Homo-oligomer: A and B are copies of this chain.
């Protein structure tokens, strides 16, 4: 927050609109699970890092700032209406700048502002990183991982965007999206980056990956289930969005594989319908359950979870770090939001 305070006062000096830093502050403060900063700190501890230094805190903060960028741009791309229980940035700014503009023009301004605020968050996440006071050795270890993380999540998101609205039975493709968009980005890379700060050996990176990839994929599968069967008041996201976008998820791919002819026809015609109503959504949920896809995804989560926990059994981490990862696994995969 100190970083944003600095930016806000710089902004005031330049007579620039304060809403930019305000939007970021609101999104950063309103909640979120802070999963990536937590995992970054845990990676640091797993590799033998002691205490929590200022440098580790700033790197963790830079991950959260980067994530804020991801959320803002994702919401523009999906045209989501709410995030963490509040209006999304592009919706909020469309209203703010909408006076005297037609609906389309207001939406365009809102989207433009949100794209730019996301761009600033991305640029500022880099700034937080290179002003974190890392040693040259830490920088050499961390920067390539951050570069990879950025490219991976953007690619994963790219696959997600281009696959949306094209229902298919391709489970592998859906899993690849989950791996890039979530497993690597949300779990593996934050752990690696924290470990890199502590000068980790190769064996530590490998043990972190053996835990992170299955747990991360399971996390995305849980997310897919919540996106369809969750309670909007708890998730903070509108419940129909995933179905309306026709996201190419493992859940949808499995359902299409197992559907009979009528079910398949309903899935193809309803998934990705922007005007989908509650009745149609209920019909889709019935099919996703009746085909056994929902149950199968729950099974996959269970298997991946077991795999992740087993990887911890032989991991060369201090016991406190292992305990922390076990605890995180529970909360991340049994979550309701």
Contact = CB atoms under 8 A, between A and B. Distances in A.
Interface of A: 7, 10-11, 14-17, 20, 69, 73, 76-77, 79, 97, 100-101, 104-105, 108-109, 111-113, 115-120, 122-124, 126-127, 130, 136, 139, 143, 147, 150-151, 154-155, 157-159, 161-162, 164-166, 176, 272, 274
Contact of A130 (B17, B105, B143, B164): B143
A190 B159 CA distance: 34
B162 A109 contact: yes
Give me the 8 closest cross-chain CB pairs, A-B, nearest first: A77-B112, A112-B161, A123-B150, A127-B147, A116-B158, A16-B155, A120-B154, A126-B126
Nearest to A11: B155
Copies of the protein in its oligomer: 2
Contact of A165 (B105, B157, B158): B105
Contacts of A115: 73, 76-77, 115
Contacts of A161: 109, 112-113, 116
Contacts of A117: 158
Nearest to A272: B105
Contacts of A17: 158-159, 162
Nearest to A106: B165
